[in-house]
């Protein structure tokens, strides 16, 4: 009888890569002396993961609602997510969200943070759209979910829907979020141009984008094209 | 010696996802069904005029695989009297080639229309059903945000000669542009392809019209022709 050769599954390999990422994230967390404990896990999560008052308030509200289902392990998972987000490691962000954070009660803020990666790295347009709609409903003051919805509708070829969402994002974005504001105003101008062919309105919109980010190369190029021989340009 | 003018064409193209390969095949069949043949009528037009799918299928060259024959048979079926639900399973042409699959459950436009209809009160069942029928026709002819702004009727009719040419050109550009590019993931490939497509469809051509305008106008014209042929038949 022939001896059966043992084939190695790819699953343990994937797991080991994920565990390697977790190990690295834990090292970063240890270096920063941010070990979550029963007496500090809420504070650590709030301090590490939020970058403005709106986010802080949304996360505090989530913790208050679900504190019995959360705890030290959740805080550690949040800190790991923050390490992956800082490193902009798409694959680690998505894997960690799917394997660890989705096990906890749904959090619109976490979804707002990871949705861009799910959209751009995984190409999961419908899942991303659903997450954005939820985030937009739960956190109506945040600009990011509306921006992502605008982008998704652009990808779907629904330019009117895209413009509508970019308008919503433009109403919510703050001066502190200059990078995002520049993208919102630029994309809104491009959608206005697509729908109305109004060059002057587009020039005004792109100028506004450049106000937030003066070195925005794409916006500069588009502005030049609009003022001279205009062609469509890639985002 | 070859006595049959039928030739095979081999075409290669770069596509971002497996799903778009399937959709491309369907799109090509839809284009082909709308191509006028020697007697200046397309297969679709012959079927609309006669109502006879078997005749159209009988004229297919024997080399056409069974799977393709089945797809052709499905595409040539009479359209529903009410809502054009088969539109969910059509390609939607080049503008929808890369859109990930979606279906009735995700159709927010229809679900919203239906919810409004449910919320209304009607004096009797007849009025209620008439309102529902009117609603279905409205959905058929309303540009859909998930169909790149095409109406379900425009999706049902398929693309014509001009769209076929534009699609070929676009796929050639796509291959030239992205064939050597390295992507981070399949998702990255899909998103960048969609961005390339949306940029292309808005780019005015030498005649001043954009591919999107040409495609929409041609599909509307095909719908008008279908309406005329069906009226003649009646």
Per residue in B108-142, pLDDT tens? 999 999 999 999 999 999 999 999 999 999 999 99
CA neighbours closer than 13 Å in the CB half-sphere of residue B192: 18
Least confident of A108-117, B2-11, B128-137, B217-226: B2-11
Q: What is the pLDDT of residue A1?
A: 46
CA neighbours closer than 13 Å in the CB half-sphere of residue A54: 15
> For residue B41, what pLDDT band results from cuts at 50, 70 and 90?
confident
pLDDT along chain A (235 residues), means of 10: 48 73 96 93 95 93 96 96 96 96 96 97 97 97 96 97 97 92 96 91 94 94 82 51
Give B213→chain A minimum CA distance, Å: 12
Give A222→chain B minimum CA distance, Å: 13
A160 Cβ under 8 Å from any chain B Cβ = yes
- Three-state SS for B110? helix
- pTM for the complete prediction? 0.91
- Looking at the partner chain, which of B100, B189, B203 has a beta carbon nearest the beta carbon of A126? B100
Cα separation of A172 and A140, whole Å? 9
Mean pLDDT confidence for B12-21: 90
Mean pLDDT confidence for B166-190: 93
> For residue B180, what pLDDT band results from cuts at 50, 70 and 90?
confident
Q: Which residues of A touch B188 (CB under 8 A)?
A: 120-121, 123
Q: What is the pLDDT of residue A2?
A: 47
Q: What is the pLDDT of residue A12?
A: 47
Q: What is the pLDDT of residue B70?
A: 93
Q: What is the pLDDT of residue B12?
A: 82
Show the domains of chain A with their CATH numbers.
Answer: 33-142 (no CATH), 149-235 (1.25.40.10)
Beta carbons of A206 and A193 less than 8 angstroms apart: no
């Amino acid at each position: 009888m022939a001896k059966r050769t043992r084939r190695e599954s790819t699953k343990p390999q994937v797991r080991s890569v994920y565990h390697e990422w977790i190990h690295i994230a834990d090292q970063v967390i240890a270096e920063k002396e941010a070990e979550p404990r029963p007496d500090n896990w809420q504070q650590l999560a709030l301090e590490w993961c939020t970058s403005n008052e709106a986010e802080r308030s949304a996360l505090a509200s989530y913790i208050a609602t679900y504190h019995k289902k959360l705890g030290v392990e959740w805080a550690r998972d949040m800190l790991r997510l923050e390490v992956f987000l800082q490193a902009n490691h798409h694959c680690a962000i998505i894997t960690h969200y799917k394997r660890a954070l989705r096990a906890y009660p749904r959090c619109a803020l976490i979804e707002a943070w990871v949705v861009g990666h799910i959209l751009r790295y995984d190409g999961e347009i419908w899942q991303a759209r659903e997450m954005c709609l939820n985030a937009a409903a739960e956190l109506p003051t945040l600009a990011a979910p509306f921006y992502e919805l605008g982008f998704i509708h652009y990808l779907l070829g629904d330019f009117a829907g895209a413009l509508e969402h970019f308008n919503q994002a433009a109403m919510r974005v703050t001066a502190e979020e200059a990078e995002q504001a520049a993208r919102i105003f630029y994309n809104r101008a491009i959608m206005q141009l697509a729908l109305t062919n109004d060059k002057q309105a587009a020039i005004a919109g792109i100028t506004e984008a450049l106000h937030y980010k003066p070195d925005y190369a794409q916006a500069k190029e588009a502005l030049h094209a609009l003022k001279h021989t205009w062609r469509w340009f890639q985002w | 010696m070859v006595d049959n003018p039928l030739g095979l064409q081999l075409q290669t193209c770069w596509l971002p996802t497996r799903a778009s390969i399937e959709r491309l095949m369907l799109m090509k069949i839809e284009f082909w069904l709308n191509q006028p043949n020697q007697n200046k009528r397309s297969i679709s037009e012959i079927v609309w005029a006669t109502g006879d799918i078997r005749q159209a299928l009988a004229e297919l060259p024997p080399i056409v695989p069974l799977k393709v024959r089945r797809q052709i048979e499905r595409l040539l079926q009479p359209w529903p009297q009410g809502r054009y639900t088969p539109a969910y399973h059509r390609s939607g042409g080049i503008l929808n080639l890369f859109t990930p699959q979606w279906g009735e459950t995700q159709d927010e436009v229809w679900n919203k229309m239906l919810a409004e209809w449910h919320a209304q009160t009607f004096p009797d069942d007849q009025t209620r059903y008439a309102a529902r029928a009117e609603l279905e026709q409205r959905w058929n002819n309303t540009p859909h945000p998930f169909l790149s702004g095409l109406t379900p009727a425009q999706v049902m009719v398929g693309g014509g000669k001009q769209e076929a040419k534009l699609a070929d050109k676009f796929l050639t550009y796509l291959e030239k542009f992205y064939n050597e590019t390295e992507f981070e993931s399949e998702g990255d490939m899909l998103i960048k392809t969609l961005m390339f497509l949306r940029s292309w469809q808005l780019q005015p051509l030498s005649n001043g019209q954009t591919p999107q305008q040409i495609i929409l106008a041609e599909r509307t014209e095909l719908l008008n022709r279908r309406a005329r042929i069906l009226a003649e038949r009646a």
